[in-house]
Amino acid sequence: MSSLALSELRAPRLSAIVLGGSAGGIEAVGTLLAALPERLDVPVLVSLHIKADSKAHWPLVFRASRAPVFEAEDGQLARPGAVYVAPPDYHLLVDVGSRLSLSADERVNMARPSLDVMFESAAWAYEGGVLGVIVSGANADGAAGLAAIRAHGGRAWVQSPETAQASLMPRAAIGAVPDALVLSLGEMAAALASWEP
């Protein structure tokens, strides 16, 4: 386990975790959700590139988490201890006060939901209290959003490209955020599992 990763979870205090991925991302996010501590005291927001008719994949993510997992709804309050997943074909955004909103605006980086859209809104909503995590994916979505999180004082984790099913997304994120903590999926999961909020 990475001691650096664990220290980033502990201080300064986290307000939210945002996770995103594309190709290979469903399995990777499922691994991380399964590792979340039982006494989770922050909301977790998830955006994944999947087709609008791909809801059959959601049970893989839902089953993995000990925290309750919800498909995000417009106007919903993101409560600590729960996971909120962007519905297929909608951008997921969060505002100050942890209020969620959904948008059918144009695709960003050919994707809806877009990681950049969610990450950038989280950077404004949570300032330095957000941890942005990018896992496996086949395009550069999320790189600009992760840079926004860092610019606001937040923390950034990226799955090591050599351990990702698709390495383009992690490589783009590392290029945009050179000081991101680069970890294997196992190291990320171990840090989350050892975290005591």
Active site residue 57: no
Spot the catalytic one: 49, 65, 114, 136: 49
Which residue is it, tokens 């990681």? 115
Q: Output the 3-class SS for the chain.
A: CCHHHHHHHHCCCCCEEEEEECCCHHHHHHHHHHHCCCCCCCCEEEEECCCCCCHHHHHHHHHHCCCCEEECCCCCECCCCCEEECCCCCEEEEECCCEEEEECCCCECCECCCHHHHHHHHHHHHHHHEEEEECCCCCCCCHHHHHHHHHCCCEEEEECHHHCCCCHHHHHHHHHCCCCEEECHHHHHHHHHHCCC
Active site residue 116: no
Spot the catalytic one: 15, 22, 65, 136: 22
Instruction: Decide if 65 contacts 34 (C-beta within 8 A).
Output: yes
Active site residue 91: no
Spot the catalytic one: 91, 98, 121, 141: 141
Active site residues: 22, 49, 141
